[in-house]
Amino acid sequence: MPVTPYNGTFGREELQHLLRRTMFGATNADLAHFNGQSLAQVVDALLNTTVPTSAPLKNYWALNNGVRDPNAMDPAVAFGQTWVNTPNTVAAVDANVGRMYSYISWTVGQMIHQDRTIHEKMRLFWYNHLAIQVSVVFNGLLWWDFDRILRTQGLGKFRQLMYDISVTPCMLEYLNGDQNVASAPDENYGRELMELYTLGESSGYTEADVQAAARVLTGWDFREDIGGTPIMPETTFTPANHTTADKQFSAFFNNTTIQGQSGANAGQIELNALLDMICAKEECSLFICRQLYRFFVHGEISAQAETELIVPLAEVFRANLGAADQMETVMRALLTSAHFFSADNRACMMMSPADLIIGMVRKLKYTFPSEATKLEARYRMFLDIYYICVNCDQNLFDPPNVAGWPAYHQSPAFDSIWVDSASYAARNFAVQGLIGQGFNTGTDHYEVASRNVSIDPDYIAIVGEFSNPSSPGNVVDGCADLLYAIPISQEVKDTLKTQRLLLGQASDIYWTEPYELYVSDPSTSDPTAQMVPNLINFLLLDMAKAAETQQF
């Protein structure tokens, strides 16, 4: 049974729904870019992703006799240059401290300045699905390698993604793959491979299958030096540490036997056989499609959703097992389906902190300092945004455990987990701060140009993207469209207009004249015109307090 395609109207409302779920926020510029295009055209553009050509740069230093000195930390890398191609030398001041925070800042910057594609959202999906905790693996080069795999394979062949993830040093360290040897098989990764990554808990595999998978995976390791000389991290396989006996699997896997191998290629041959066996199971396709559904559509999967979308989508997954663009094909079917655009699936989810905070930053049209002239200031602000997400209960690099964030898998609450009495207050405070306070870097920086750099939302540019912003009603409409996925009443809009833009007056002229005067001359001395940016600020602050700001 094929996935039923969406054949209804594809207007602004449908475009907003699509962009909110596939990007972090849907700005007016995003909507204008895709205006007039068909659903197929927009989805094709969203899936036409590219891997970023930039890399995280050295923005860190340590004190040297009380003086800020970049050479006192990670001296092999010059300030402002990337560290991703330089082996890590562990010294008195561990370079990984700087490298990790550099990587975190860079990643947040990629999310903010994303292309108009699904790339950044897809990366977060896979990171949640294949979660690694930075509190366990604190190594910039290992994370960079892990990041490359998620980005390059995110819309490719699932089986290849799982092979690369299985042997990447970051995962080998995280789930003890580097400790899994023939004399003492470690079941950690073999268990999560089946339970969390491919088949799902209680799908039918047995404890004996986990043990057999662990034996298949023996012998893999990685190294970061040779004879004491630092090198770039590289995966290794040691035949002497591999279990060469046959591995017998249960009836769930049709009593498959993976023949034991020896020699330099034994690990590769057996891992390929293990993944072929797992990916051939219908349960694998169903499990991955349910994970996609919970991330992009809705947490709760009803019987109707299972029938209408999950089952046929899993058929698409299986039909494209060998295709280089397997996941792209699956995502195209999902995003163009009738089920995705059903009324029940619009504005039905609570935003994750990443969606809320990164999306709000993008909507507020912040202009961040230049990497070329104020690298520290730029990375400091991105790091501030990361900490805002942390304070709202989503550490973007340290989910609670190997299962990822509970909001994407924990029944029956799912996305409502993001919001409780404590987190809602933190989320509201964060949004108010983004709208009303902006960012300031402070003084503790090596670069003089990066000290005390401040940026604020561009309020005039925000409303300037609305239709005829000289009309106060249009400004309120535009802000509601920008902030809310759920419509608000005309009565509420009229109250906001009168109280916030007209200063209690009845006539629209009390907004129109000051606004037009300020836009024509921002340095005007007219006291009412000078208030225009603040009036927009106050309007946004007032509107952002509503619960509707938290849904998409």
Q: What is the pLDDT of residues 281-315, one digit of tens each?
A: 999 999 999 999 999 999 999 999 999 999 999 99
The Cα–Cα gap between 328 and 122 comes to: 10
User: Each residue of 470-528: pLDDT tens digit?
Assistant: 999 999 999 999 999 999 999 999 999 999 999 999 999 999 999 999 999 999 999 99
pLDDT, tens only, 461-478: 999 999 999 999 999 999
| Domain contains 487 | yes
Question: Could you give the number of structural domains in the chain?
Answer: 1
Is residue 318, in this structure, part of any structural domain at all?
Answer: no
> DSSP for 110-173?
HHHT--SSSHHHHHHHHHHHT---TTT---HHHHHHHHHHHHHHTTS-HHHHHHHHHHSHHHHH
Residue 191 falls inside a structural domain: no
Is residue 51 one of the residues assigned to a domain?
Answer: no
Assigned token pair, 286: 């169903």
Q: Is residue 530 part of a domain?
A: yes
In a domain, 474, yes or no: yes
- Confidence category of residue 236, pLDDT binned at 50, 70, 90: very high
Is residue 118 within 8 A of residue 287, CB to CB? The reply is: no
pTM of the model: 0.96
| Angstrom distance (rounded) from CA 440 to CA 450 | 10
User: Quick check: is 529 in a domain?
Assistant: yes
Q: At which residue do the structure tokens 């366990």 appear?
A: 136
pLDDT of residue 89: 80
pLDDT tens digits, 243-267: 999 999 999 999 999 999 999 999 9
- Whether residue 74 lies inside any domain: the answer is no
Domain that includes residue 544, residue range: 459-550
